A and B are shown apart, each in its own frame.
Chain A
């Protein structure tokens, strides 16, 4: 089945630094990838949609200059949290969907726990 690999699984960084999270589709081409954020005991909130070769579409309230998304190939999307602050600490999850799999839902990565100290 479709597999999405997300790295790193956890990261601790100092306030003011940047962190890059990678999301790879291992056995299929992902024309569209999604980035979500989840706070404790909350539901996943969509942050942005990235399409291969074009600019990402950000949800209302998400700062595009702070959360940089690059979807340079059909198998890789990256999310960079720039100038991270403690309030950016959260669980970040990517999701991918190729073509022709409308009966099978979306495939999610295992998530990245970001802690900003």
Chain B
């Protein structure tokens, strides 16, 4: 079965530094990898999507990479702020109208 693994359950970063979250997948490459933010008691909010033929995507302070050789995606938040504290979910999808496979998430804490 296809799996998504986010290695760190929790990550503490000092404000202003770059936070880097790791996502690894097993078996074949997904058509898409997506990153979502989830706050306690809320549904996930979409952040970025990257296709398997794309190396990098950026959106404001966010950057995501996709390395099909390493079977890995990295998610970066530059100039991190306490408001960035949340759980970040790595998600694989095959494209089309299919459901998503979620990682367990990494709880990011940005300390002032």
Residues of A that sit less than 8 Å from B by CB: 4, 6, 31-32, 34, 41-46, 49, 51, 59, 91, 93, 95, 97, 102-111, 113
Contacts and interface: CB of A to CB of B under 8 A. Distances in A.
B112 interface: no
B16 interface: no
A107 B97 contact: no
Interface string B12-49: 00000000000000000000101010000111111101
Contacts of B101: 46
B43 A6 contact: yes
A93 B43 contact: yes
B46 A113 contact: no
Nearest to A32: B97
Nearest to A35: B99
6 contacts: A32-B97, A41-B104, A102-B49, A104-B49, A106-B34, A110-B43
Interface string B40-71: 01111111010000000000000000000000
A31 to B, nearest CB: 7
Given A43-B89, A109-B43, 17 more contacts: A34-B100, A43-B103, A44-B102, A46-B99, A46-B100, A49-B97, A49-B98, A49-B99, A59-B99, A93-B43, A95-B100, A102-B32, A105-B36, A105-B49, A106-B100, A108-B45, A113-B41
Nearest to A6: B43
A4 B102 CA distance: 19
B30 to A, nearest CB: 13
Contacts of B45: 108
A90 B50 CA distance: 30
A49 B94 CA distance: 15
Scoring A4, A31, A44, A102 by chain B CB atoms within 10 A of each residue's CB, the highest score goes to: A44
A111 B97 contact: no
